[in-house]
């Protein structure tokens, strides 16, 4: 199965490291022009460098609707339209699991802003252009936490990722008549960035052993495993696939 995207315009959010960097590289290696977005400008520059002449960096907080609208409009004006959006920006914003009574309003909101509101704002911004072209791909990156529970006990993260899965299914039906597919990749636990490394260390030896025991393949995955599923959803091989959530987690 050969998958490529010559001449396609792709936006990848959360592209500074981890899944986002692997996804950006995957598209760039297959001929797409990647518009990589993140708040971490230093690491984002490294992603763009790795992509060669196939990428451009945009500093963007996806939780800021005004900034999202302006960035998407600028990309559309430059390229003539966006073909693929990958809503990868997310994470736990440095938090670890704590009892519910210790969670502040800010702790709750900051996770929702990047994981759920950001996916909505980005999808909202690209939808009119995709509708006009009667073509498009939107791929959301959720988590196994959105299908079950957060392994680290972070209430807002599990809730936001579950909401993102609901958004995926709703938008698939709303945008389907315009030949726009909306799908979701739900990764298992992957050591993809400093935040996931911190979570893993917080589990301790016993928690890490339990985690591994519950994976059918008895090993953790890599960012490229997630990127590969994104490539499929974005490709012509997934022309009649929408509203789906695929777990890439080593088997549960």
How does pLDDT run along the chain (252 residues), one tens digit per residue? 789 999 999 999 999 999 999 999 999 999 999 999 999 999 999 999 999 988 999 999 999 999 999 999 999 999 999 999 999 999 887 777 889 999 999 999 999 999 999 999 999 999 999 999 999 999 999 998 899 888 778 899 999 999 999 999 999 999 999 999 999 999 998 887 777 777 788 788 988 898 899 999 999 999 999 999 999 999 999 999 999 999 999 998
Query: DSSP strand E in 4-151: where?
Result: 9-13, 33-38, 55-59, 84-87, 136-141
Whole-number Å distance between alpha carbons of 119 and 140: 7
**Domain locations in the chain as residue ranges:** 9-190+223-241
Q: Which residue has the tokens 């490291």?
A: 17
Active site includes 200?
A: no
Residue 7 CB neighbour total at 10 angstroms: 10
Residues with Cβ within 8 Å of 52's Cβ and at least 6 positions away in sequence, in order, are 28
For residues 227-248, one letter each, b for 16 or more C-beta atoms within 10 angstroms of the residue's C-beta and e for the rest, the string is bbbbbbbbbeebeeebbebebb
Query: What confidence score (pLDDT) does residue 184 get?
Result: 98
Pairing between β-strand 180-187 and β-strand 136-141 as defined by DSSP bridges? parallel
**Selected catalytic residue, list 27, 157, 189, 233:** 157
What pLDDT shows up at residue 81? Answer: 97
The pLDDT assigned to 152 comes to 77
Cα dihedral 120, 115, 246, 228, rounded to 10, equals 100
Helix (H, G, I), strand (E, B) or coil at 58: strand
Q: Measured between alpha carbons, how far is 234 from 165 in angstroms, rounded to an integer? A: 17
The Cα–Cα gap between 12 and 86 comes to: 5
Per residue in 156-203, pLDDT tens?
Answer: 999 999 999 999 999 999 999 999 999 999 999 888 777 777 778 878
Which residues, in sequence order, are CB contacts of 249 under 8 Å at separation 6+?
144, 186, 187, 188, 189, 215, 221
Strand partners, 56: 35
What CATH architecture does domain 9-190+223-241 belong to? 3-Layer(aba) Sandwich (3.40)
SS3 content of the chain, % helix, strand, coil (to 5): 55, 15, 30
């Amino acid at each position: 199965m050969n998958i490529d995207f010559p001449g396609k315009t792709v936006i990848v959010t959360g592209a500074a490291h981890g899944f986002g960097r692997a996804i950006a590289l995957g598209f760039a290696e297959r001929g797409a022009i990647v518009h990589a977005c993140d708040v971490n400008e230093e690491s984002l520059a490294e992603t763009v460098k790795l992509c060669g002449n196939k990428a451009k960096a945009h500093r963007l907080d996806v939780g800021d609707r005004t900034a999202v609208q302006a960035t998407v409009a600028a990309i559309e004006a430059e390229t003539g339209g966006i073909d693929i959006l990958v809503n990868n920006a997310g994470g736990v914003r440095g938090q670890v699991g704590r009892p519910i009574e210790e969670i502040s309003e800010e702790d709750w909101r900051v996770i929702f802003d990047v994981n759920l509101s950001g996916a909505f704002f980005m999808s909202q911004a690209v939808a009119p252009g995709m509708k006009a072209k009667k073509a498009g791909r939107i791929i959301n990156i959720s988590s196994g936490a959105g299908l079950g529970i957060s392994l680290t006990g972070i209430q807002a993260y599990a809730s936001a990722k579950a909401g993102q899965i609901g958004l995926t299914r709703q938008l698939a039906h709303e945008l389907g008549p315009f030949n726009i597919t909306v799908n979701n990749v739900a990764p298992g636990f992957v050591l993809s960035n400093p935040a996931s490394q911190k979570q893993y260390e917080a589990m301790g030896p016993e928690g890490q052993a339990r985690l591994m025991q519950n994976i059918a393949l008895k090993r953790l995955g890599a960012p490229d495993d997630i990127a590969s599923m994104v490539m499929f959803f974005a490709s012509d091989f997934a022309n009649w696939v929408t509203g789906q959530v695929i777990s890439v987690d080593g088997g549960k």
